[in-house]
């Protein structure tokens, strides 16, 4: 699977050179205002990805925040505490809140008045799916499939345009037997490559691991690769250097099934898997590969995106 890049276009353009036409700074690393031009590509991508949706897939569009308790129950803090963003709000009675505002106006630190709320910023689109499935009882024999999307947050500030703190993720998710999940992922492996081909992106699919926290995390990452639990479709975005993961294909085994007591029709602990498309990275990949003038993109790419 670890093959050479399928080269279909010339060398990628410098991302910095095209940044001004695409992503404008907002004063925080990894958080950008997206231009109309960038959004044209992003909209084209979501439409293209929708055309690949399998029948019997439930569509849900999710908000950028989710229940903190649910994310805890899914085990996020054990694996990725360093990436989590928690919502906190100014707490207290009217007098206390006024005092906090006065401290802010005086140029003093007012953030001590913040109290953690029951919300976190969603770190991936699929997390709310598992508690939802759990609330519905045993799975049907065919399992369940979902099409989900949301704005995601991960605390990984960087000046690289392809490493954002706030970015959009589109996912297809399967919950069912181990075989159903394996088949689902195999189908999406082919489709992800087909989508990248339609987009004229020089890419390859390779084994990958998640950025687990700490020293113990390195072992988890190695075991993830050994068990072939994660693959990524990577694209050359920087003229030199590492390729960028634009799509991931994940087999969670029974991680969420055990955390949420999800049961197959036969009563076994359910497995799950997902394919996650990074919309902003894919859009960036298009501009890096084909330039900032949409009208000059290859005709077949524009047709695929309907732009
Ligand atoms: P993951 O859940 O880490 O496999 O992420 C799924 C997809 O989201 C990746 O393949 C990327 O396309 C996208 N993604 C993840 N992290 C970031 C980030 N920091 N900035 C932009 N896109 C990201
Ligand atoms: Zn997922």
What's the whole-number mean pLDDT along residues 50-67? Answer: 98
Q: What percent of the chain has pLDDT over 90?
A: 91
Q: Crossing angle for the helix pair 279-290 and 36-51, nearest 10 degrees?
A: 110
Q: What is the per-residue pLDDT for 20?
A: 86
Name the pLDDT band for 19 (thresholds 50, 70, 90): confident
Dist. CA 225–CA 230, nearest whole Å: 7
Q: What is the per-residue pLDDT for 297?
A: 97
Atom of ligand 1 nearest to the CA of 124: 2
Q: Residue 141 Cα, ligand 2 centroid: separation in angstroms?
A: 22
Residue whose CA lies nearest to ligand 1 atom number 15: 278
Q: Crossing angle for the helix pair 178-198 and 36-51, nearest 10 degrees?
A: 130
Dist. CA 177–CA 254, nearest whole Å: 9
Q: Residue 279 Cα, ligand 1 centroid: separation in angstroms?
A: 9
**Residue 40: CB partners within 8 Å, gap ≥ 6?**
294, 307
Q: What is the per-residue pLDDT for 281?
A: 97
Name the pLDDT band for 98 (thresholds 50, 70, 90): very high
Atom of ligand 1 nearest to the CA of 232: 10
Contact 169, 271 (CB under 8 A): no
CA 161, 159, 286: angle at the middle one, nearest 5? Answer: 10
Query: Which of 276, 124, 305, 274 shows the shortest CA–CA distance to 201?
Result: 305
Residue whose CA lies nearest to ligand 1 atom number 14: 278
Q: Residue 255 Cα, ligand 2 centroid: separation in angstroms?
A: 12
Q: What is the per-residue pLDDT for 7?
A: 46
Q: Residue 36 Cα, ligand 2 centroid: separation in angstroms?
A: 28
Residue whose CA lies nearest to ligand 1 atom number 2: 124
Number of Cβ atoms within 10 Å of the Cβ of 64: 16
In which residue are the tokens 């505002």 written? 101
Helix, strand, or coil (residue 12): coil
Q: What is the per-residue pLDDT for 2?
A: 46
Ligand nearest to the CA of 127: 2
Q: What percent of the chain has pLDDT over 70?
A: 95
What's the whole-number mean pLDDT along residues 247-260? Answer: 98
**Residue 31: CB partners within 8 Å, gap ≥ 6?**
164, 165, 166
Q: Residue 273 Cα, ligand 2 centroid: separation in angstroms?
A: 7
Q: What is the per-residue pLDDT for 282?
A: 98
Looking at every residue in the chain, the average pLDDT score rounds to 94
Number of Cβ atoms within 10 Å of the Cβ of 281: 24
Q: What is the per-residue pLDDT for 10?
A: 44
Atom of ligand 1 nearest to the CA of 154: 19
Pocket test residue of 173, 248, 277, 280 for ligand 1, highest count of atoms within 8 A of CB: 248
Dist. CA 48–CA 92, nearest whole Å: 48
Which stretches of 34-93 are DSSP H helices?
Answer: 36-51, 68-73, 76-79
Encode pLDDT of 104-125 as tens digits: 999 999 999 999 999 999 999 9
Does the predicted model carry a pTM greater than 0.85? Answer: yes
Query: What Cα–Cα distance (Å) separates residue 21 from each residue in 238, 249, 280?
Result: 17, 31, 14
Q: Residue 276 Cα, ligand 1 centroid: separation in angstroms?
A: 8
Helix, strand, or coil (residue 208): coil
Dist. CA 306–CA 107, nearest whole Å: 50
Ligand nearest to the CA of 146: 2
Name the pLDDT band for 13 (thresholds 50, 70, 90): low
Q: Residue 97 Cα, ligand 1 centroid: separation in angstroms?
A: 37
Residue whose CA lies nearest to ligand 1 atom number 4: 248
Helix H or strand E segment including 60: strand 57-61
Ligand 1 site residues (CB inside 6 A) read: 124, 154, 156, 163-164, 167, 169, 232, 245-248, 276, 278, 280-281
Encode pLDDT of 147-162 as tens digits: 999 999 999 999 999 9
Helix, strand, or coil (residue 50): helix
Q: What is the per-residue pLDDT for 12?
A: 55
Q: What is the per-residue pLDDT for 11?
A: 44
Per-residue buried b or exposed e for 229-266, using 16+ beta carbons within 10 Å of the residue's own CB = bbbbbbbbbbeeeebbbbbbbbbbbebbbebbebbbee
Q: Give residues whose Cβ lies within 5 Å of ion ligand 2.
A: 124, 126, 171, 274, 276
Q: What is the per-residue pLDDT for 15?
A: 74
Q: What is the per-residue pLDDT for 238?
A: 81
């Amino acid at each position: 699977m670890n093959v050479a890049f399928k080269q279909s276009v010339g060398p990628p353009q410098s991302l910095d050179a095209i940044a001004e036409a695409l992503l404008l700074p907002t004063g925080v690393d990894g958080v950008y205002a997206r231009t109309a031009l960038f959004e044209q590509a992003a909209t084209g991508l979501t439409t293209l990805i929708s055309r690949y949706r399998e029948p019997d897939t439930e569509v849900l569009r999710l908000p950028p925040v989710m229940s903190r308790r649910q994310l805890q129950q899914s085990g996020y803090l054990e694996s990725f505490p360093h990436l989590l963003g928690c919502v906190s709000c100014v707490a207290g009675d009217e007098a206390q809140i006024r005092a906090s505002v006065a401290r802010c106006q005086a140029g003093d630190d007012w953030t001590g008045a913040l109290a953690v709320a029951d919300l976190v910023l969603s770190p991936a689109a699929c997390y709310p799916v598992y508690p939802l499935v759990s609330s519905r009882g045993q799975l049907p024999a065919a399992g369940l499939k979902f099409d989900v999307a949301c704005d995601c947050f991960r605390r990984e500030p960087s000046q690289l345009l392809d490493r954002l703190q706030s970015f959009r993720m589109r996912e297809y998710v399967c919950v069912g037997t181990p075989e159903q999940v394996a088949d689902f992922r195999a189908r999406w492996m082919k489709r992800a490559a087909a989508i990248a081909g339609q987009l004229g992106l020089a890419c390859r699919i390779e084994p990958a691991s998640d950025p687990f926290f700490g020293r113990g995390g390195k072992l988890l990452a190695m075991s993830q690769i050994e068990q072939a639990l994660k693959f990524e479709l990577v694209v050359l975005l920087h003229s030199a250097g590492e390729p960028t993961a634009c799509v991931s294909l994940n087999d969670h085994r029974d991680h969420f099934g055990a955390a949420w007591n999800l049961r197959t029709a036969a009563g076994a602990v359910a497995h799950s898997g997902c394919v996650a498309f990074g919309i902003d990275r894919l859009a960036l990949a298009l501009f890096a590969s084909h330039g900032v003038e949409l009208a000059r993109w290859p005709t077949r790419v524009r047709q695929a995106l309907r732009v």
